[in-house]
Structure 1
Amino acid sequence: MKRCRMFSTFTTAGLALLLAGCLRVGPDYHPLPPEAPPHWQAPALTAAVPATLQHWWRAFEDPRLNQLIALALQHNTDLRLAEARLRQARSQRLQQQAQRQPGLDGSAGYSRNWASPYNGGGSSSLYQAGLDASWELDLFGGLQRAVEAADAAVGAQQAELADVQVSLLAEVALNYLDLCASAEQHELLRQEIATRSTLLTLTRYREQSGQVTALETTQARQSLAQLQAQLPAIEYQRHRAGNALATLLASPAAELEKLLADAASLPPNRPALAIGLPAEVLRRRPDIRQAERQLAQQSAQVGVAAAELYPRLSLPATLGLVAPRLSQLLRSDRASASLSPQLRWSLLAGGRLRAQLAEQQILLEQQLLHYRGQVLNAVEETENALQTVSASDRQQQHLAAALAAARAVEQLRQQQYHAGLSDFETVLDSRQSRLSLQQQYLTSRQEQLRALVQLYKAAGGGWNPATERTTDNHG
């Protein structure tokens, strides 16, 4: 009767522990959608033809830019580093998943012993083999929470990889635009210098003939020197952009120079890709995805810390085989086995475990604030990019009208000169005015294209969120 009561007690305790395995302490995480405004305050782009932001650079219709992007995606060191971090996170996830599975170790040995002649002499052999098994039952979900944390870490690393790619593509495009613009600026400045040189020569002739004073000649020389002083800065900008591209592509600058030798003008096309509503942009941006996955990871870490407050049950078991001959090793009478369930529970830790739980809860609160801050920053960044594009578009329209008028004035001055109604100096003055406006127009167009690149970056263009989710699910 006593044995029955003991058996019933142990059975009840065992069932209670097994039922406890259905419990998971800590918060159950639910994805938190970003709080997005219903629409943009700044005017948003609308595309005449539907296009995807995944390959936004193709809208520039510049084969050389496409080639640079392809080389960067293939060779960039930051991208390779982010890929290595993702592989590391996946390996760590596999390690955490393995913690929930039973473990089995095998061993085998052989020993040969010789007795001393004083003890009768002789020798003996001993063959040994054994299996050691262990399994920790996840009674309160601590191991499952650790797997959830590792899984969220994989998602965060995958989003970081996408974020690196988004930034990389934008940097390649921005530096390429700077390089092309510097080539155009250099050519325009060369024309301006030639015009100023001719004006200086005419002013000298007029000074010699007494038509002007030395002041006008000195002023003409000053204007020419000021233009010539701009050449080194423009040449530096081209070299700087080329060196930056070489770093982004992990390619020697000398080799890249061959590819960029004939890059003499900005891409002719002005893209007009629609970026979508704020909610769509926030879902697309990888930095928001990364912050959300980090929030999920920290939520799971709270569960890991909470599980430390509860008992942990492990089931170690051993099977041993010992025999003097190898042929006898597998006989049942040579086997010994043991099963020794172990229950561990930290009953007195000076408040350390609860302090650790409190720390993880505070970290979760911080991560939530970080996530909300990232959302607000993303909205601000996109709004500013939209405003910049809108302003640069308006500036381009005004400068285009001014440049058209300057070209018309230059043409009329040339007609008057050929008709004998004005002198050649007047023609040169109108040409100089047109070249100066052309420089302003070129700078404005460079800023316009740069603003579009910054907008596509702010909108999370350059990666495919659907591919990221599929890869994560099969990682």
Structure 2
Amino acid sequence: MTGLRICALGVIACAVLSGCQVGKDFQRPESDSRIEWLPVSGEAAPSQPVAAPINARWWEVFNDPLLSSLIDRATQASLDLRIAATRLEQSRAAYRVSTGEQLPQLDGTLGYQRKRNSGKGLNDPSGQQGRAPFEQWDSGLSASWELDFWGRVRREVEAAGARVEMAESDQRAALLALQAEVARQYLALRGVQSCHEVTRQNLALARSSLELSRERLRNGVATELDVAEAAAQVAAVESRLPVLEQRQAQLINALGLLLAQAPRALQRELEQPVQMAAVPLQVPVGLPSELAERRPDIRRAAAHLHAATASTGVAQGDFYPRITLSGNVGLQALQLSDLGSWGARQFAFGPQLSLPIFNGGRLRGMLQLREAQEQEAALAYQQTVLRAWQEIDDGMSLYNASQLQQRKLQEAVQHNRMALAAAKRQYVEGVVDFLNVLSVQRALLSTQQQWVQSSTTQAQALVSLYAALGGGW
């Protein structure tokens, strides 16, 4: 009867003290509330970011079905995403282990031993005084339950739950990084293909100039120098093609790796050039207040701070006594036939209190470690938010500048084309020598390649901007 009263009092005390919990409750920092989209300084490009909801499939802004297909297939096949998924399962399993610590533990036993006791030692339960071996049969149930008076176990569960959030954010980060990398490599491939096409067009112009100089040489109005210079220009332009073809093969293989494909597996699918669609005049970039929920690194930093705060509470709880209710009931007999008899029964139950008295400063050192880790996590969160803010502002500036650069280079290409036509006409008329034609041809090729590169930079800048914004969720 006394034992039942003790158990009842323990349960009542646990219910009363369940509201007591060591450590402080986690509160998310407010440092991210200051974020806002700043207007781009200087001249504004035609396509501008606007504070509107981001499409979850943000890459569809490029209006390229093949790009969308590649990203979808990479999402299904990526080994990095599979690794992130397994790590998430690990964290969830660890969380289940932690939650199990809150519940009573019940174990069943069944054992058999054939043994012989010392005749000079403790009493021999068989009555043989150590002169002969005997058999012993045991069966029973044992239970134990730590009464979480101070909330130490609950803080452990809280920390484990925060680590699950960290793993979920890591998985989101891996997915966003994969989508952005597929888009960057794809856009780089299209840029190389466009540059290849521009080079071939300039090669045709150079060959036309070579034929023109040969024709004038046959007519006696040109020199061997003009022909040699024209032939050298043809060879110089031709030398660019192998490098571009190798770069194209390299980018196709890079995309194949992102899709977990063998080298050249995507060759037929990607070797044909595709004209990229123009981006819309308004590019939705979401709302500043939603940034902390979109960016995986900010979510992870917040979860890391949460886990560190809860771990500090666990370290504080180690200074308090631990109270455990335990008990067992079972049967023990020297003969198997007696194992089920009433006289073979045995039991024991009662509370156990464990209080740390001296541990060489281990608990104090652990608490100081956890507090320092919590401070580090808080600073890391602030740094993550500031870095995100900077990346977004840099991305918007780069996107704006790349558009303006592309516009000016387009004007330069048009003027160089006009200059080349005028130079050829004047060369035929004998007003200028062939060196002027070659000079304008080189300038045209250079500005055309710069224009293609600026187009690629603009598209990749938009990808980087969406990656900095955390994509769409």
Q: Does TM, normalized by the shorter one, top 0.5?
A: yes
State the Cα distance separating 1:367 from its structure 2 match: 0.8
From 26, 29, 34, the counterpart of 1:32 = 29
Cα shift readout 1:55-106 (whole Å, capped 9, x = no counterpart): 0112211111111111100111111100100000000000011011110110
- The yes-or-no answer on 1:441 pairing with 2:451 is yes
- Whether the aligned pair in 2 keeps the contact of 1:195 and 1:428 (CA below 8 Å) is no
- Find the counterpart in structure 1 of residue 119 from structure 2: none
**Secondary structure of the residue that 1:367 maps to in structure 2?**
helix
* Alpha carbons of structure 1 residues 435 and 350: separation in structure 2 relative to 1, 3 Å: closer
Equivalent positions of 1:185-334 (< 5 A) are: 185-206=195-216, 211-262=221-272, 264-271=273-280, 272-322=282-332, 329=339, 332-334=342-344
Greater mean alpha carbon deviation, residues 77-86 or residues 390-399? 390-399
Q: What is the percent sequence identity of the aligned residues?
A: 33
Structure 2 CA distance for partners of 1:88 and 1:75, relative to 1, 3 Å:
same
Contact persistence 1:56–1:273 (CA under 8 A): no
Matched to 2:61, the amino acid is: A
Mapped partners of 1:286, 1:9: distance in 2:
50
Quick check: 1:356 aligned with 2:362?
Answer: no
- Structure 1 residues 20-419: aligned runs within 5 Å: 20-43=17-40, 52-110=54-112, 127-206=137-216, 211-262=221-272, 264-271=273-280, 272-322=282-332, 329=339, 332-404=342-414
CA distances 1:360-392 after superposition (whole Å, capped 9, x unpaired)? 101111111111111111011110110011111
Tell me, in whole angstroms, the C-alpha distance in 2 between the residues paired with 1:203 and 1:235.
30
Kindly indicate whether the alpha-carbon contact (under 8 Å) linking 2:51 and 2:284 is maintained by their aligned counterparts in 1: no
CA distance in 2, matches of 1:47, 1:182: 27
Farther-moved stretch of structure 1 (135-144 vs 326-335): 326-335
Alpha-carbon distance in structure 2 between the residues aligned to 1:62 and 1:207: 49
> Given the superposition, is the C-alpha separation of residues 13 and 126 from structure 1 closer, same or farther in structure 2, using an over 3 Å criterion?
closer
Once the two structures are TM-superposed, the CA of residue 394 in structure 1 deviates from its matched residue by 1.4
**Residue 454, structure 1, aligned to residue 464, structure 2:** yes
Query: In structure 1, what residue type is equivalent to 2:197?
Result: E
Q: 2:91, 2:410 → 1: CA distance? A: 52
Asked if the contact 2:50/2:285 (under 8 Å) is kept, the reply is: no
Distance verdict in 2 for CA 1:314–1:244, change over 3 Å = same
Task: Note the C-alpha offset of 1:13.
Answer: 9.2
Alpha-carbon separation, structure 1, partners of 2:336 and 2:268: 73
Give distance in 2, aligned partners of 1:48 and 1:368.
31
Is the CA contact (8 Å cut-off) linking 2:169 and 2:300 kept in structure 1? Answer: yes
**How far 1:205 moved relative to its partner?**
4.7
Structure 2 distance, partners of 1:365, 1:398, is 50
Matches of 1:35 and 1:158, distance apart in 2 = 20
1:123 CA drift (Å): 11
Tell me if structure 1 keeps the 8 A contact 2:169–2:297.
yes
Please give the alpha-carbon distance, in whole angstroms, between the structure 1 residues aligned to 2:381 and 2:56.
Answer: 24
SS at match of 1:54: coil
Question: Cα deviations across residues 182-226 of structure 1 (Å, max 9, x unaligned)?
Answer: 122112212212221232343345456654555544443443333
Structure-1 separation of matches of 2:51 and 2:17: 58
Partners of 2:10 and 2:49 lie apart in 1 by 68
**CA distance in structure 2 between the aligned counterparts of 1:10 and 1:104, rounded to whole angstroms:** 17
SS in 2 for 1:315: strand
Supply the AA of the counterpart residue of 1:147. Answer: V
On the 8 A contact 2:249/2:264 being kept in 1, the answer is no
Distance 1:267 1:322, change over 3 A: same
Q: Give me the whole-angstrom Cα distance separating, in 2, the residues matched to 1:199 and 1:73.
A: 50
CA contact (8 A) 1:53 1:456 kept: no
**Distance (whole Å) between structure 2 residues aligned to residue 13 and residue 135 of structure 1:** 11
Q: CA deviation at 1:447?
A: 1.0
Measured in 1, the distance between the counterparts of 2:133 and 2:310 equals: 59
Residue identity in the other structure for 1:28: D
Amino acid at match of 1:150: A
AA at the equivalent of 1:359: L
Amino acid at match of 1:103: Q
Q: CA RMSD of the aligned region, Å?
A: 3.9
- C-alpha change, 1:11 and 1:182, in structure 2 (3 Å) is closer
After TM superposition, give the deviation of residue 39 of structure 1 in Å: 2.7
- Give the equivalent residue in structure 2 for 1:473: none
Q: Counterparts of 2:462 and 2:79 in 1: how far apart (Å)?
A: 26
C-alpha separation between the residues in 1 aligned to 2:287 and 2:52?
Answer: 15
Contact 2:206 2:441 in 1 (8 A): no
Secondary structure at the counterpart of residue 102 of structure 2: coil
What amino acid is the match of 1:77? L
Kindly indicate whether the alpha-carbon contact (under 8 Å) linking 1:21 and 1:137 is maintained by their aligned counterparts in 2.
Answer: no
Residues 175 and 282 from structure 1, CA distance in 2 versus in 1: closer, same or farther, beyond 3 angstroms? Answer: same
CA deviation map 1:270-320 (0-9, x unaligned): 254311343323331111101110110111110111111111111121101
2:48–2:400 CA contact under 8 A, matched in 1: no
Match of 1:254, SS state, is coil
8 A Cα contact 1:185 1:439, kept in partner: yes
- TM normalised by structure 1 equals 0.83
Whole-angstrom distance in 2 between the partners of 1:14 and 1:151: 26
Paired with 1:394 and 1:402, the residues of 2 have a C-alpha distance of 13
1:130-175 per-position Cα deviation (integer Å, ceiling 9, x unaligned): 0011111112111111101100000001001000111100100111
Q: Decide whether aligned partners of structure 1 residues 260 and 55 sit closer, same or farther in structure 2, where only a CA change above 3 A counts.
A: same
Aligned length: 452
